[in-house]
Amino acid sequence: MPQLTYLTNCFIVCTGARGFDYHYGNYGPQLNYFNYGFGTNNLTGRDFYENGYQVPQNCTNNHYYPDLILEKFEQVIHNADPRKPFYIHFATTLTHATGEWNGTTTLVNILETMPGYSSRPAVTALNDTFINRRRQTSSIQALDEQVRRIRLALTYKGVINNTIIVFQSDNGPVTRIFGTIAQGGTNYGSSWPLRMFKQTMFEGGVRAPAFIWSPRFRRAGRYTNQLFHVTDWLPTLYQAAGGNVSTLVGLDGVSQLKSLVTGRKIIHRTDIPINIDNSRTKFVNKTEKNPQYGVIWLHNITGILYKLVGGSVFNDSYAGWERTEGTTAANPMTTPTAVSVQCNGVEGVEKAGSTPCRPWSAACLFDLTNDPCELNNLALNKTGILSILQSLLAAYNSTSVPSVANSTVDPASVVNGWWVPWQDPEPVWVSPPCAPFNPSSAS
């Protein structure tokens, strides 16, 4: 938001400081939480930068990465001029597993945590039989701590009452079954009782937790089932910062600020295309094209949200549910809230008498308003609705641009033991000598 005179900061995953006044963190998708390295396809290297400068090991002392970037955030807020507005993109790596190359053919995902988080009651409630799920739960505790201290830093600085806080996830979790089917790593996440997980168009893959908080909102503590797409954040926050959304051309998103501020249910969008990529091949067998596709549509009369989903899912092998490890129907280990998912049916079981959903054979149709867990496939019962959604998807596809996919890793991406931006004409600067980072400087 430079044209609005906002100081912009990015923590973690940003390609350099492009578009931001300041950047601190890694460039790639994941990294070891202690040595900040990442490995894949027989390549491994350190991935940690500050404004384009490599951050060497003696500057960080192998500090637990989620805590390190949190303490840097606190330091930046502590040193900020409260009279100057700012935008901060804090893209935490939690609760993502790390990615490390085992030296042969496998990318190993490891859940790295600290005793301060793994000893909390929410973690120790699970017995040692589910050690990996305990590690995942421990990383969630670390995420909770980040949110708590971010809010405290803004409060102590005296700017919390003039701040908008947005929390969101990018996609569904990598579960235990995901790792088995995909023949790769897993971080033992859970989307239960939603169907499926990451890299699928089912709710377990695309329905993500999110909230927005601000003293400007007239109705606090409310929840809504209005359609909100990730592209809506740009115009919404731009308008909140004082910008004129009409000057932003070529956007896919719409501003939903009016609904957020007033607390009224205002329909800003009536559909969301989930995926229209026609170049995607089957997950394992890459000789046959059968992309995943999906779209959500709001019925303007009934107010029901309908969803179409189809295509290849994990090489046409699985399209079900996975209960959270260590839990049972009698002991779900959850605390019900106003936003808890209500399946309106037997969890994890397709409704008796309904058409089984096998998206690789035929498109499936669900009523998300009454069936958020996608238990009842309505494709054969509501052919008119199915046709509307298929036409909507075809309309989006008619304007789509072919994607550029590159599944290989260029050896030139690692230089002298460091990951560098691929084919980037900008230089990567070696950091000058520095004193080890002192967490106490953040307070």
How far is CA 227 from its chain centroid?
A: 17
Tokens of 126: 């699970």
Question: What distance separates the 2 farthest-apart alpha carbons in the chain?
Answer: 69
pLDDT, position 210? 86
Task: Reduce the DSSP state of residue 242 to 3 states and report it.
Answer: coil
Confidence at residue 285, expressed as pLDDT on a 0 to 100 scale: 45
Q: Do 68 and 60 touch, CB atoms closer than 8 A? A: yes
Residue 62 has a pLDDT of: 84
Token output for 270: 């009536």
Three-class secondary structure of residue 317 per DSSP:
coil
- Look-up: residue for tokens 């996440």? 189
Separation between Cα atoms, residue 228 and residue 225, nearest integer Å: 9
* CA 122 to chain CA centroid, nearest Å: 22
Burial state string for 161-175 with b = 16 or more CB within 10 A and e = fewer than 16: eebbeeeeeeebbbb
pLDDT per residue rounded down to tens, the chain (443 residues): 555 656 666 765 554 456 788 899 988 888 889 989 888 777 888 999 988 888 888 888 889 999 999 999 999 999 999 888 999 999 898 888 776 666 655 566 677 888 899 999 989 998 888 888 898 999 999 999 999 999 999 999 999 999 999 999 888 888 888 877 765 567 888 999 999 998 899 999 999 878 899 988 888 888 888 899 989 999 999 999 999 999 998 899 999 999 999 888 889 999 999 988 655 544 444 444 567 899 999 999 999 999 999 988 887 888 999 999 988 989 888 888 888 899 999 999 999 999 999 999 999 999 999 999 999 999 999 999 999 999 999 998 888 877 666 667 788 888 888 888 877 777 677 777 776 556 554 44
Burial (CB count <10 Å: 0-12, 13-18, 19+), residue 191? buried
- Do strands 165-168 and 7-12 pair parallel, antiparallel, or not at all (unpaired)? unpaired
Residue 227, C-beta contacts closer than 8 angstroms, at least 6 positions apart: 268, 269, 270, 271, 272, 296, 298, 305
Sign of the alpha-carbon dihedral angle for 201, 99, 186, 174: negative
Per-residue confidence (pLDDT) for residue 108, from 0 to 100 = 65
pLDDT for 9 equals 67
Q: pTM of the predicted model, to two decimals?
A: 0.89
